[in-house]
Each structure stands twice: as C-alpha cells, then as structure tokens.
Amino acid sequence: MRDHTKLKAFALADELALLTYKETRAFPSEERFTLVTQMRRAALSTASNIVEGCARPTQADYVHFLDMAYGSSRELEYQISLAHRLGYLDQSANERMAAGSESTCKVLGALIRSLRNTSDE
C-alpha cells in the first residue's frame, strides 16, 4: 500500500481543505447548505480520494481515485472564483485559495500523467 502522507499532492489538498473550512465560516447563512457545503465537499473529496486511492491494490484503481481527486479540485477552483465574484471571499482569501487550488491541480495532474506513463511502458 502507498503512504498518502508522503505525497505532495495530499499535503496540498489537506492544506486547501483546512483553508476552505476556515474561509467559508464567514459566508452568509443562506449559503450554509449550498455553496459552503459544495466547497467543503469538493475540498474534502480531493484529499479523501487521494487517501482512498493510496489504499487501493492496483495502479489502475490508484489512478482512478486520483482522477476523481483532480475533478474535485477543479470543481473547487470554480467555486472559489464564484464565491469571490459573489463577494463572499475578499481578495486576500481568494488569492490564497486560488493559489492552493492551482498548486493542488498542477501536482495532481503531474502525478496522474507520471503514473499513466509508467503503466504504458
């Protein structure tokens, strides 16, 4: 089994999940069951799918869960942008979250490509 704690992608996703929970606390109460929930679920799903993928026995399963993590991280990227445009995230929070999301996506994408290239050989 793989150790998710040794992956940069997991560290970034975990950090982004913590930041997402922190920054969405101040959102308007009417967003509690909509955008707040969606953003938190996407952030949590990113990190959780990396962990679950690491626990899978085959590389194909591992990559499948990394693909799901990547999709969730892209989903969060959009939600961060929307929250900022709606005025729920100030410029500083938006920049921190967008940078965290972008880093997570880049590292996850590179890991997925690397694993696919390895399995193709």
* Range 24-52 average pLDDT: 97
Nearest Cα to Cα of residue 71 among 52, 97, 45, 33: 45
CB 54 within 8 A of CB 3: yes
Residues for the chain: how many in total?
121
State whether residue 79 is helix, strand or coil: helix
Distance in angstroms (rounded) separating the CA atoms of residues 77 and 3: 26
pLDDT tens track for 60-110: 999 999 999 999 999 999 999 999 999 999 999 999 999 999 999 999 999
Distance in angstroms (rounded) separating the CA atoms of residues 62 and 97: 26
Q: What percent of the chain has pLDDT over 70?
A: 98
Task: Look up tokens 């920054």; give the residue.
Answer: 23
* Range 9-18 average pLDDT: 98
pLDDT tens track for 39-65: 999 999 999 999 999 999 999 999 999
- Identify the architecture of domain 4-120 in CATH: Up-down Bundle (1.20)
Instruction: Name the residue ranges covered by the structural domains of the chain.
Output: 4-120
Confidence of residue 118 (pLDDT cuts 50, 70, 90): confident
The upper half-sphere exposure of residue 36, i.e. CA atoms within 13 Å in the direction of its Cβ, equals 14
Residue 46 has what pLDDT? 98
**Chain centroid, CA 56 distance in Å:** 19
- Which pair of structure tokens corresponds to residue 32? 């509690």
Q: Does the structure show a pLDDT above 70 at 119?
A: no
